[in-house]
Each structure stands twice: as C-alpha cells, then as structure tokens.
Amino acid sequence: MLVMLAVIAVFGVSAYVGWNLTHPEREKIDSSPVGLPFENVSFRSRVDSLVLRGWLIRAPGNRATVIFAHGYGKNRLQEDVPVLPIARDLVQHGYNVLMFDFRDSGESDGTMTSVGQFEVLDLLGAVDFVQSRPPLSRRIVLYGFSMGASTAILAAARDPAVTAVIADSPFADLKTYLLKNLSDWTNLPSFPFNQAFMLVVPPLTGLDPGKVSPVREIKNLDGRPLLLIHGEADTDVPIGNSESLQKAYPQARLWRVSGAGHVQSFAVAGDAYLQKVEAFLNMVGDPGSGG
C-alpha cells in the first residue's frame, strides 16, 4: 500500500510540474518600438491557424527580413536580452524586422506552451506571412533566443524558404535537456521524478519532448548558414548544447562569449555582439538586392 501511494504521489507531482511547465504566466507587452515605423500585425500559425500578433518594422534598405523568436515564458520583447535594441540596430542597417509572440505568450492566442513542439508552426506561419507581404525581402533570417533559438533551427530545417539562422543559447534536444536539467527547475530529485515526468506529461498535455530535437533535424539545413551564439557561463542551457549542434552541422559557426550567462551574450559583449550579427548577415547574401 505504501509503495502504491508513493507511486501515485510521484506521478501526481510530475503531472503538476508538467502542467505548470506548459502553462507559464504570460508577460505583458509594456513597451513598443518608439521612433521606428512599426505596424501592428497579426497572422496565423501554419497548420493549426492560431492567431499570432506582433510588430512589423520595415527598413528602407530591404536587405533581408529578420524574424525574431523569443524564449520560454517570454514575449516578443525578450526583456532579459533585451531584443529591442538589437532590432533597432538591424533596422538602421537596412533589415526589416518581424517581432511576434509565440502561442500562449504576449498578445497571441493559445493556451499551452510546448517548448518548441508547436511553436515551430508559429514560426513557419511567420515565414508564410513575410512571403505574403511584398515587397518585403524574401531573404528570410530566423533569429531566436533559448527556446526560440532551438525552434528557429527546427523551422529552417523544415522549410527551405529560410535563408539563414542565428541561434542564441539553443538547447540541442529537449528530452535530453529535461532529463538532465528538470531538477534545476523543480528542486525535486531527478530520480524518479524526471522519468515520471516523461511518462505522464505527453498524455496529459500533448507535449512530447522527443519530438523537439534540433540536433536530429539540423542536417536538413543543407548547407544554409547558421550562427550559434552561446555564453560560456550559461548554466541554464550549457554551451555543450551548441557544441553538439555544431558537431552535427559542421557548417555552423559557434561564437563563444566569455562570462555570459543564459541569453546574456548581448548584455556582456555589447557592440561586439551587434558587429558579429551584422557580419553574419552581410555574409548571408547579396545585400541590397531586396529579393
């Protein structure tokens, strides 16, 4: 009887953890791209057609269109980076920018966060939106942070319309990451709770961590440019994740940022970070062709 009660308790706690993981509290949008010619836009995710909302900022140069992808529990602003100054710099250098909220985040529809499994449909919907809005450049670059970085790799691997990817602090494989790191989130012993989590969460929420594996799909980039950025002091998503991604896709460039924690490379490196991003974008294609 005691053993049965213990098993029920373990699975009950794991279900509670899984529900909270997939239903984080939304962060409010508390600022806007003041001084930039932004447009409030909405579009639908690919396949399941959820309504997603964001800002489109057009640049006169129309050199490429950069779509930002935010991290878990964040919104289009990704204040812990922060993203807005990066967007301003890109617009000043002639790049259109689309900033939007994933499902169940910011001002977008949806009631569940899936840590990339369904967010990839949102990002692919953003690609569809850009392609539907001429004269926006169809040279499309996905630029993600943390969960958004991993999702950007997945989206590019599934859609050849994506020209290049910038991935800041991605995880390589969600199931592996959770098995190793879930205890850091829950403060519970890894055994037996992490294993119970993997059993109970898919039928409870629809989240299947085994389906979120950038390292497995990255080969489908087929030679397209990928810039990995990772802080060497990142304890949330250790740099070994980007190292695994580069090993699986040797064409990728990995920039290691000394002393930077999770998604803190811009905060630590400042102008050097912007210069690295600009150099990568300059390399992606013929700037100024607008097509």
- CA nearest to 156, candidates 284, 20, 12: 284
Amino acid at 73: G
Q: How far is CA 231 from CA 37, 81, 244, 276, 280, in A?
A: 32, 12, 15, 14, 18
Residue 146 to residue 228: CA distance in whole angstroms? 11
- φ, ψ of residue 152 in degrees (nearest 5): -65, -40
How many other C-beta atoms are found inside a 10 Å radius of the C-beta of residue 38? 18
pLDDT at residue number 287: 46
Cα Rg for the chain, rounded, in angstroms?
Answer: 19
Amino acid at 290: G
- Find the distance separating the first CA and the last CA of the chain, reported in whole Å: 68
Say if residues 145 and 83 touch (Cβ distance below 8 Å): yes
Task: Specify burial of residue 253 (Cβ count, 10 A radius: 0-12, 13-18, 19+).
Answer: middle
Q: How far is CA 15 from CA 49, 101, 103, 196, in A?
A: 28, 26, 21, 8
User: Residue 177: how many CA atoms within 13 Å on its side-chain side?
Assistant: 28
pLDDT at residue number 7: 67
- CA nearest to 149, candidates 64, 83, 57, 91: 83
pLDDT at residue number 183: 84
Q: How far is CA 9 from CA 147, 196, 285, in A?
A: 30, 10, 55
Pairing of strands 96-100, 65-69: parallel
pLDDT tens column, 58-68:
999 999 999 99
User: Residue 182: how many CA atoms within 13 Å on its side-chain side?
Assistant: 23
Q: How far is CA 111 from CA 106, 203, 259, in A?
A: 11, 16, 36
Cα 84 to its chain centre, rounded Å, is 16
CATH class of 36-182+214-284: alpha beta
Residue 248 to residue 230: CA distance in whole angstroms? 16
- What is the DSSP code (8-state) at residue 4? H
CB burial string 176-189: b at 16+ within 10 A, e below? bbbbebbeeebebe
pLDDT beneath 50: ranges in the chain: 287-291
pLDDT at residue number 192: 87
